[in-house]
Structure 1
Amino acid sequence: MGHPDNTYSLVADIGGTNTRVALADGRRILDDTIRRYRNSEFPGLESVLTRYIADESGVDPIAACVAVAGPVRDGRATMTNLDWTIDKDTLARATKAEKVAILNDLQAQGHALGHIDTANIRTVLPGPDAGPNAAKLVVGVGTGFNAAPVYDLEHGRIVTPSESGHANLPIRNEMELRLCQFVSTAHGFPAVEDVLSGRGLERAYAFLGQEANDPREAAAKDIMAACEDGSDPRAVEAAQLFTRILGTVCGNLSLIQLPFGGVYLAGGVARAFAPHLNHFGFGEAFRDKGRFAGFMSNFAVHVIEDDYAALTGSAAHLVALN
């Protein structure tokens, strides 16, 4: 069935593995228009959007916004974990939209805050009530890692981009130093993303095998499955190591950004870990800041369990541009 011309916005969430595309009516995503495409099957975003428009009966959107897993500068995005480059001209040509925008994927998650069903927000660490304009922080843990602060100002919301996943891993003890040395072989130095991502969980598992003189590999999904059924103690140990480092990094970012409005974890890996964060030591690592340990209780931590939040954020951003 066709759609009316110049009525809906086209929004897309481009991850390292998949691209999700949908139509939006204002901030509301039209659920029956959501489609998912494997990036490996396409040479670039333009071909994905061309396919989507054909799949949606040649829809002619009035606006388009894409959220990209990579840095955006001057309207041009370079994917961190995918060999695609995206700019506004390409987006306008592919969609024929009158207005186009490109966001970093964490910026899109930030624009989604306040527009996500509360049933899809899981609280990990409660915090005190905060004013509506209190700063927030979105932390993405999935194919990669990133974080973005969210500021609600008089003239509107600002979500500033970053590439936090490529900062150095924190080191608190000798074991973590050995982990840093182990993962530094991946890119020449130990980045946060080398541990805090799906591939990073696999590296943590492999590192523990090296520590035990019993090297084995396991896929991230199998590690998480083993955590559920208790079939592999090393999987549980890897998940605990991952969780403690996640807590440390999120605590560091919270002291830098002061998100009194809350920290929001997003992404597939964050959702997979959500039921385990408390008993795997996230809170203890998050608050382990010496004399600032009590101060850390100012920051609530939540997990966004809406797989399409970046689409909602992209739609909300287009509304705000009007």
Structure 2
Amino acid sequence: MGKLPSLVADIGGTNTRVALADGKVVRNDSVRRFRNVDHPGLETILRLYLDEAGIAACAGACVAIAGPVRDGVATMTNLAWTIDGPALTRATGAATVAILNDLQAQGHALGHIAADKLAPVIEGPAPAHAAKLVVGAGTGFNAAPVHETPWGRIVAASECGHINMPIRTEADLRLARFVETAHGFPGVEDVLAGRGLERLYAFLRSEAGDPGEKTASDIMAAMAEGDALAEETGRLYVRLMGAEIGNLALTHLPFGGIFLIGGVARAFQPWFQRFDFTGAFRDKGRFAGFMANFAVSVIEDDYAALTGCAVYLEQGGKG
């Protein structure tokens, strides 16, 4: 009898993707997507997946969630799901289980992503042994530093999407006052997540004395059509994103590269050069030259978080 496969899952606010993995390799043909609202909790989804696959038990189970994990317990605020180790064991029969933040899972995937799934934004040196940084811009915004140690890889969790947004100009200060009305504080996520793009557009309309709104998808479509205000919104977004990722680069010194993930980051990949992401990233005064030490890429692998979960299990991760 061969070795049992592991079960890996990537749990977002709307959908959960589940797959089987042999060691560090995800079986791409095993990936299934479930709508979260159709199920009372993760246990139900995992049990349904395994039943339909005809698998009674797994060698291990690791899930990545879009939210904080504390002491091995994750609570999905938008879904009121609580996920812990005993729940994963009940659902999968696995003795070894683990719960990661989704950015941590992406960090564990680095080095196991095909080269053609990495789109360069800023070229530069990226030695494999050096620290790295994963930055997610999608429904939310967050980052996770990745460190190689003699004891293995460490990917630290954070909630840096909720720190203060970058402010460089008087207009940025007005923007901060504009967005802080959402919940009393102008956080990074308020301008760099998907809904942040919508707030930037509303801010520019307000500044022009013509209040109005558009959805993020409509703004991206209008940019592609050459709409001037949509392009101004996109340029502002890229400047703020470059500034914030530059801040994170100086905080963590990821000489091994910075890796962008998430729907918004991927949607803006064709616009980074046109809107001068590099200039915003390196706009650090006397440290501008130092910023050339950091390469930036966009991860275009939809299954990277699943791969990270598989790698984490295979390397002995648990908890």
CA contact (8 A) 1:69 1:80 kept: no
How far is the alpha carbon of 1:131 from its aligned partner? 3.2
Distance 1:54 1:209 in 2: 52
Query: What is the aligned counterpart of 1:75 among 72, 75, 82?
Result: 72
Greater displacement, 131-140 / 36-45: 36-45
Query: In structure 2, what is the equivalent of residue 180 of structure 1?
Result: 176
Matched AA of 1:137: L
- Residues 1:5 and 1:73: Cα distance change in structure 2 (over 3 Å): farther
How far is the alpha carbon of 1:314 from its aligned partner? 0.5
Query: In structure 2, what is the equivalent of residue 157 of structure 1?
Result: 153
Give a deviation string over 1:131-160, Cα, whole Å, max 9, x none: 321000000111111100001111211101
How far is the alpha carbon of 1:5 from its aligned partner? 8.4
Distance 1:8 1:87 in 2: 21
Residue aligned with 1:303, SS: strand
Instruction: Kindly report the root-mean-square deviation, in angstroms, between the aligned alpha carbons of the 2 structures.
Output: 1.6
Residue aligned with 2:251, SS: helix
Does residue 202 in structure 1 map to residue 189 in structure 2?
A: no
**Counterparts of residues 92-103 of structure 1 (less than 5 Å):** 92-103=89-100
Does residue 317 in structure 1 map to residue 312 in structure 2?
A: yes
- Residues 1:311 and 1:203: Cα distance change in structure 2 (over 3 Å): same
Query: What is the aligned counterpart of 1:146 among 142, 145, 148?
Result: 142
Distance 2:283 2:56 in 1: 52
Distance 1:5 1:75 in 2: 30
CA contact (8 A) 1:150 1:160 kept: yes
**Counterparts of residues 221-300 of structure 1 (less than 5 Å):** 221-230=217-226, 232-300=227-295
Give a deviation string over 1:230-262, Cα, whole Å, max 9, x none: 2x3222111111111110000000000000000
CA contact (8 A) 1:6 1:60 kept: no
How far is the alpha carbon of 1:43 from its aligned partner? 2.7
Residue aligned with 1:186, SS: coil
Query: In structure 2, what is the equivalent of residue 303 of structure 1?
Result: 298
Unaligned runs of 5+ in 1: none
Residue aligned with 2:233, SS: helix
Query: What is the aligned counterpart of 1:10 among 7, 11, 21?
Result: 7
Matched AA of 1:320: Q
Query: What is the aligned counterpart of 1:111 among 108, 113, 117?
Result: 108
- Residues 1:92 and 1:177: Cα distance change in structure 2 (over 3 Å): same
Query: What is the aligned counterpart of 2:85 among 77, 83, 88?
Result: 88
Query: Percent of pairs identical after alignment?
Result: 62
How far is the alpha carbon of 1:58 from its aligned partner? 4.2
Matched AA of 2:131: A
- Residues 1:198 and 1:55: Cα distance change in structure 2 (over 3 Å): farther
Query: In structure 2, what is the equivalent of residue 123 of structure 1?
Result: 120
How far is the alpha carbon of 1:122 from its aligned partner? 0.6
CA contact (8 A) 1:136 1:151 kept: yes
Give a deviation string over 1:40-67, Cα, whole Å, max 9, x none: 2223222222232233234522110000
- Residues 1:177 and 1:40: Cα distance change in structure 2 (over 3 Å): farther
Does residue 62 in structure 1 map to residue 59 in structure 2?
A: yes
Greater displacement, 78-87 / 295-304: 78-87
Query: In structure 2, what is the equivalent of residue 211 of structure 1?
Result: 207
How far is the alpha carbon of 1:81 from its aligned partner? 4.7
TM-score normalized by the length of structure 1: 0.94
TM-score normalized by the length of structure 2: 0.95
Residue aligned with 2:192, SS: coil
CA contact (8 A) 1:15 1:143 kept: no
Query: What is the aligned counterpart of 1:166 among 133, 156, 162?
Result: 162
How far is the alpha carbon of 1:302 from its aligned partner? 0.5
Does residue 52 in structure 1 map to residue 49 in structure 2?
A: yes
Distance 2:84 2:286 in 1: 46
CA contact (8 A) 2:105 2:309 kept: yes
Residue aligned with 2:130, SS: coil
Equivalent residues, number = 317
How far is the alpha carbon of 1:98 from its aligned partner? 1.6
CA contact (8 A) 2:56 2:93 kept: no
CA contact (8 A) 1:71 1:80 kept: no
